[in-house]
Chains A and B, each alone.
Chain A
Amino acid sequence: MDREIVVPGQLLSENVEESGAGTYVKEGKVYSLLYGVANLKNKISVIPFAGKYIPSRKDFVIGIVFEITSSNWIFDIGSPYDGLLHVSEYPKRVDPSMMRDIFDIGDCAILRIKDVDATMKIELTLREKGLRKIKGGRLLEVPSSKVPRVIGHNGSMVSMLKKETGCEIFVGQNGRIWINGKDENMDKLSEAIDIIIRESHISGLTDRISHFLQVNEEDNKKCRNEEDEVDTEQKESWEKMTSVNEKDSERVEKINDTGRMVDQLLDTDEN
């Protein structure tokens, strides 16, 4: 059996060479450090069932300001360690008296981890393309361990979610997800993400989610057609919106297909 639920202290191997992540070696034997699943591919590693997000350099995260000093915003980044955003890491000059006007307590931002020192002091930055304060939209939280699932193989899941819902999505490595779009689309999207987290074990997940969203879409379209008879203006704006999305969706489609193929490959691999 190459996949097994293990508990801390469980003997995994007598070969020190096989010691991977989540294991330790004692007197020439390899033991588990964690409660999780042992994966015997290549080396033996243990993937924990639970655990906190631990920041590392260059990670993208979504933070919430919870304290402001004269030269730092302190962000909760959903980890045991708070992140410091120093004024000099804000892309513009900031007068100390204006700190609160830029980020007030409770404000959110897409940030990047600039540095992590040995004592786990976390320095954040906003001085990079794409990093910014978040305005509007919704913030969702998922276990950081499930982030790869939301992104999917080669980004297939997130691309598909984007395409099907027309929402903007940003997935932070700390498990916080920001979505923005029309209200009803965000409802669908957060429901879809719920399913991804809940049913992440079911194979062919991307297809399932895609199907889930398309069914809903059809419902929406039906409704829309009915509405259109009375409201042509809305139809126009709808068309405008879809046309804007079109150039994106072509490329997305391709990624999506490869994603599905990878999924299928993996599925057969498992069986």
Chain B
Amino acid sequence: MTSEVMASLKKDYIYNLMLKGKREDGRAFDEYRKITVQTNIIDKAEGSAKVCIGDTQVLVGVKLQVGAPFPDAPDEGVIITNLEMNPLASPDFEAGPPKEDAIEMARVTDRGIRESGAIDLNKLCITEGEEVWIVFIDVHVLNDDGNLQDASSLGAIAALMTTKIPASREGKGEDMMMPIKDIPVGVTLVDIGGELMVDPGLAEETVADSKLTIASNKDGSISAMQKTGEGMLTQEKLLKAVDIACAKAEEIREKYLLNI
């Protein structure tokens, strides 16, 4: 409760640093904190990844079930993304059903995966109109030190890339790897007093006027975007943000995903 309140002194401090081109932890505006991606750490899940960005930690597990397709897409598998802001992860989180922040973050993660065509949904069809694979992507937040969104997006794609479809277990033929067609990476920027910074820390996230997440694909195209927060962004800022985000996404893809 009380931890939600940030001293205005601290806000001023972060703002003043920005004016001098600096950040609280000494990073450059376009610099991420240390990222680590560990895959296959939950045997019970068909695919899993633990992502740390600085002290932020999320665990993503992918589970598959056989179910009915949506009537309007009888030959496509189904993706369901859920994000739990566990009370274990932050003094600000409360137990209970997902609140709007958690739902928004889950949906942005979902859109990045879905719209990029990262998963070949046709290959997840077992019997057209009857049986398809349902892919559950569960994002479990373990420690919130800012920028859960990028950790969540990165964890989701990393977990999917390691996912084995348990077809033999369910009597649906041979096991196969998740058919991955693209590798979308979400990059979040915050606008603090008119300057754009990637990978906001907890304090930066609190101070920011607005936040922008851009998920981009291997070919540099964009698959999902979301602006959050009450601030406004100029057209010029947006275009600049897209450039930064695509470049950063490329870096992250190279470094942490292509080797999975």
Contact = CB atoms under 8 A, between A and B. Distances in A.
> Are chains A and B touching directly in their complex (CB below 8 angstroms)?
yes
A112 B22 CA distance: 35
A194 interface: no
A107 B1 CA distance: 16
A123 interface: no
A134 B9 contact: yes
Interface of A: 64-66, 76, 82, 104-108, 134, 136-139, 178, 183
A134 B3 CA distance: 19
Contacts of B16: 183
B95 interface: no
A66 B5 contact: yes
Contacts of A108: 7-9
Contact of A64 (B1, B5, B13): B5
B2 A138 contact: no
Given A106-B8, A107-B8, A139-B7, A76 B13 contact: no
B10 interface: yes
Nearest to A80: B2
Interface residues of B, number: 13
Q: Which of B6, B7, B13: most chain A CB closer than 10 A?
A: B7
B91 to A, nearest CB: 11
Contacts of A137: 9
Interface string B231-246: 0000000000000000
B2 A106 contact: no
Nearest to A66: B5
A138 B12 CA distance: 9
B2 A66 contact: yes
A104 B7 CA distance: 10
B10 A139 contact: yes
A208 to B, nearest CB: 22
B13 A106 contact: no
Nearest to B2: A76
Nearest to A104: B8
Contact of A138 (B1, B3, B5, B13): B13
A108 B6 CA distance: 10
B230 to A, nearest CB: 16
A178 B7 CA distance: 12
Interface in B165-221: none
Contacts of A178: 9
Closest 4 CB pairs of A and B: A106-B8, A66-B5, A76-B2, A139-B9
Contacts of A134: 9
A136 B12 CA distance: 9
